[in-house]
Structure 1
Amino acid sequence: MDPETVAEWCQTLNINTDHCLALLLPKEDFTTRQIYQLMDEVIPQGRCFIRGMKKDDATATTSVLLEWDCRVINLNAPPTVEFGKEGHKARLVFPTEGSPEGGSPTSTANEPPLAVSTTIGPDFITALSDFVEKCTKGSSPYNGIGYRKLRFFSGSQPVPTGEDDYESWMEQSMQVLDEWDIPEAHKKQRIAESLRGAAADTVRNLKLSKQDCTAYDYLQALQDVFGRTENAADLLYQFEHTYQGHGEKLSDYIQRLDKILHQILLKKGLDPKLVDKVRVKQILQGAQPLDPIMLKLRMKQGEETLTYNQLIKEVREEEARLEVKGSMVEALLDTGAQVTL
């Protein structure tokens, strides 16, 4: 198999040629585990995936198309490597230079036949070290040890034991994704390792149809499949017509509004900069008009807009104060004392 054929193979499967190469093995039965172990030794940077396999009776070889989650096109790898106790010989063939997706300048003119062996030596290890340094250059340092993993999510109903429902899982994922100071590949890995069943299938199909997708692309795909079916306009209408119930605490009402507001943001129906202003506006319109805490908030109308944390803190503190005051009044009434409010 020559570089041009490898490039055509990549194009047929819609794979970026900068991330691929073909591994030519003797025509024997090799397990996927053996193939992955070999490539982990030859190219330890990144993760590779088997995208296709062909057997050629004419050359007595098995060709395996491999894709990495990082660029491998500039790797100065030897065309042939020897592996295993039996001394099996394998050849690495990069896609041709000038293909639509970009390719390797590898040429068949100078490639030795499959029988010629080049064992892995110090020069190859040095080249690999340079390659690793280039791939990791510019990445922020991070500590991947001891991070809190996301709970499992599969999309199954009813929600299995030990898993989160969609809205709880998505809310946590959006929060930690903004906080993780790690490379994009690790963000995707952490999200993928929390997925099961239909949710994992959704991400797998996304990666097949879209090259170089991001962690946010993962979340968007899951939102499309498992999120609420209402569009942003429907959710905004629901938000503007959600009112505080009789006997409902104002803090509970605010939290109920915030869940709808979060769904509107996921649907890109509102500028995030306007969230606090829109929230306060709806609270002033939808809360019980005689709620004592609401009356205080109306008095502050026109002042600096409170954030969600500031608002919920102030409301809960006022609720606690009124609850204590109410308990004191009841205790005084039980003793028959005169109460002055």
Structure 2
Amino acid sequence: MDVDEIEAWCKRKQIACENAVVLSGFDANVTDDVLLQALSLVKAFGIVKIVDRCLDVASKTQFVLIQTSTDLTKQTIPDCVGLPGKAGPWPVHVLPVLAEGEGFEAKLLSFLRHEGKTITDVKGLLNPSPLDMNAALINAISSLVDKCNTAPTDTQSYRKLRMFSGVRPTPSGEEEYDAWAEQTMHLLEEWQCSDNVKKQRVVESLKSPAADIVRFLRAQNPSATSYDYMQALETAFGTTESPSDLLIRFRQTLQCEGEKLSAYLMRLDKLLHCVFRKGGVQLSEMNRLRIEQIVRGALPQDMIALRIRMTHDHYSCPQNHS
């Protein structure tokens, strides 16, 4: 739910934006009593009231609109709320409110906060000394201009991930884990954007229970990267084989009689990506391992493989095919 939608929701319910909190990823089965108990743990909210709920079509969960007795623009708000071990966590969304007469510095800080930045991203901007005030503002504006210039290109090239929940049997319209993870890892390498954007795109493609795993990881470790998300999902839904076992299986995978080299390469690539997702190989090593295994495991009479062998200077292992 974007800023405009939250503002419209607040207007319909006649709530001041500075007293509005929206929770996302909320399970419809969770009662108001449980939610109020979780909200009571956040002192910055003061006295709270559950105003409304609406369905998030993408994740099949709910958005919940909360009214607080405190001015949230003057409070430190947590990223998530919940009852540890019982319910949640649910991401917290508040509106950046700019008061009349605020200076450029305050508006800039509010914008940075809304874009998911922190004060440390713009060093010296908050209560800076007179000497570094101009430099801090110039750096902040330059960063925002670069972001604005690159965002449209990135948006145009953005190819959405397929949906994945981890439910078995796989529901219609979703992917099995291996196919989803292979596509996701490929796109994470391909996307030219910040890791925060990559994380958002991964989360957008998830439904419960897979979405819950990432949500809890984010609550426990707010600095987790998109690859940390994938490692957590790999642990939950991937193969139980260890990285070393997978690498051994990769090295023992040979081309079958009558199998096209392209089909053999696809089998190798699928196994190699499993090793990579498990952390058993670095991205920079994958091309070398792929070529070495083609040279080692392809049929002797395959002409394309023969050409690869002739140009592969570092190949020294004997052929495994009899």
Settle same-fold status: TM greater than 0.5: yes
Q: Is the 8 A contact 1:154 1:198 kept in 2?
A: yes
Find the counterpart in structure 1 of residue 243 from structure 2. 232
Find the counterpart in structure 1 of residue 305 from structure 2. 294
Distance 1:125 1:199 in 2: 43
Distance 1:292 1:254 in 2: 15
Which amino acid is 1:94 matched to? Answer: Q
Q: Is the 8 A contact 2:18 2:71 kept in 1?
A: no
Find the counterpart in structure 2 of residue 131 from structure 1. 109
Which amino acid is 2:214 matched to? Answer: V
Q: Does 1:94 align with 2:72?
A: no
Q: CA deviation at 1:277?
A: 2.2
Distance 2:279 2:98 in 1: 52
Which amino acid is 1:230 matched to? Answer: E
In angstroms, what is the RMSD of aligned CA positions?
3.9
Matched residue of 2:151: which SS?
coil
Q: CA deviation at 1:233?
A: 0.6
Moved over 4 A (4+): 37-40, 46-51, 124-128, 133-136
Q: Does 1:53 align with 2:39?
A: yes
Q: CA deviation at 1:235?
A: 0.5
Find the counterpart in structure 1 of residue 84 from structure 2. none
Q: Is the 8 A contact 2:177 2:237 kept in 1?
A: yes
Find the counterpart in structure 1 of residue 280 from structure 2. 269
Scaled by the length of structure 2, the TM-score of the pair is 0.57
Distance 2:16 2:218 in 1: 21
Q: For each residue in 1:137-165, what CA deviation from the matched residue of structure 2 results, as whole angstroms up to 9, or x when unmatched?
A: 42533126553211111112222211111
Q: Is the 8 A contact 2:10 2:17 kept in 1?
A: no
Find the counterpart in structure 2 of residue 62 from structure 1. 47
Distance 1:175 1:47 in 2: 33
Q: For each residue in 1:252-302, what CA deviation from the matched residue of structure 2 results, as whole angstroms up to 9, or x when unmatched?
A: 111111111111112221233332222222222212223333333322231
Q: CA deviation at 1:128?
A: 5.0
Find the counterpart in structure 1 of residue 291 from structure 2. 280
Scaled by the length of structure 1, the TM-score of the pair is 0.54
Find the counterpart in structure 2 of residue 142 from structure 1. 151
Q: For each residue in 1:171-228, what CA deviation from the matched residue of structure 2 results, as whole angstroms up to 9, or x when unmatched?
A: 2222222333344433222211111121111112212222232222222211111111
Which amino acid is 2:192 matched to? Answer: D
Change (3 A) 1:187 1:43: farther
> Within 5 A, what are the aligned runs for 1:151-166?
151-166=162-177
Distance 1:182 1:223 in 2: 23
> Within 5 A, what are the aligned runs for 1:1-341?
41-42=17-18, 52-54=38-40, 62=47, 90-92=70-72, 94=75, 121-124=99-102, 128-135=106-113, 137=140, 138=143, 140=147, 141-143=150-152, 145-146=155-156, 147-302=158-313
Distance 1:253 1:120 in 2: 59
Find the counterpart in structure 2 of residue 7 from structure 1. none
Q: Is the 8 A contact 1:43 1:128 kept in 2?
A: no
Q: Is the 8 A contact 2:47 2:69 kept in 1?
A: no
Change (3 A) 1:48 1:186: farther
Q: Is the 8 A contact 2:188 2:198 kept in 1?
A: yes
Distance 1:200 1:181 in 2: 24
Distance 1:198 1:160 in 2: 13
Q: Is the 8 A contact 2:231 2:278 kept in 1?
A: no
Distance 1:301 1:199 in 2: 42
Number of residue pairs the alignment of both structures matches:
222
Which amino acid is 2:284 matched to? Answer: K
Which amino acid is 1:42 matched to? Answer: E
Which amino acid is 1:239 matched to? Answer: F
